[in-house]
Amino acid sequence: MTGGDIAGLIAAGVFAILVALLALPIIRLTKVFDELIVTIRSLNQSTAPLIEEVTRTVVTTNEQLEKVDDITSNVSDASANVSALSSLVTSTVGQPLIKVASFSYGVRQAFRGGNKSGQQGGTSAGGEN
């Protein structure tokens, strides 16, 4: 054997040791990837029912919000009707009540004025109304 052959054998041995040393981390990395695949599958199996439940919850919530929207619309209509009714009652009953109150005030002033100053107090109270 020549010196070149010995150097070639040493280089081949070193290369074989290097390949063996690099193979161990690659084998460990393969195991890590296998465990990662198992974990992802497990996570996928556990999240699928959760996503379905969230979907059902969102659908139910949307249905309830539609009902609340209908209720809100009805309450808005009812409040508008109450406002219109209040205006109607005020104009129908309020104006005559004001006139009756003014008339009764004028009559009282006329009786008081008639006792104190005669006809003149009654005329001025009646003239203002």
Angle between helices 119-128 and 95-117 (to 10 degrees): 160
How far apart CA 102 and CA 20 sit, in angstroms, is 114
pLDDT digits 0-9 by tens, 27-79? 999 999 999 999 999 998 889 899 999 999 999 999 999 999 999 999 999 99
Full-prediction pTM beyond 0.75?
no
DSSP code of 1?
A: -
Do residues 75 and 91 make contact, with C-beta atoms less than 8 angstroms apart? no
Q: Which residue has the higher pLDDT, 57 or 96?
A: 57
Q: How much of the chain exceeds pLDDT 90, in percent?
A: 53
Residue 60 or residue 110, greater confidence: 60
H helix and E strand count, the chain: 3, 0
Q: What are the percentages of helix, strand and coil residues in the chain, rounded to 5?
A: 95, 0, 5
pLDDT for the residue numbered 101: 86
pLDDT of 125: 47
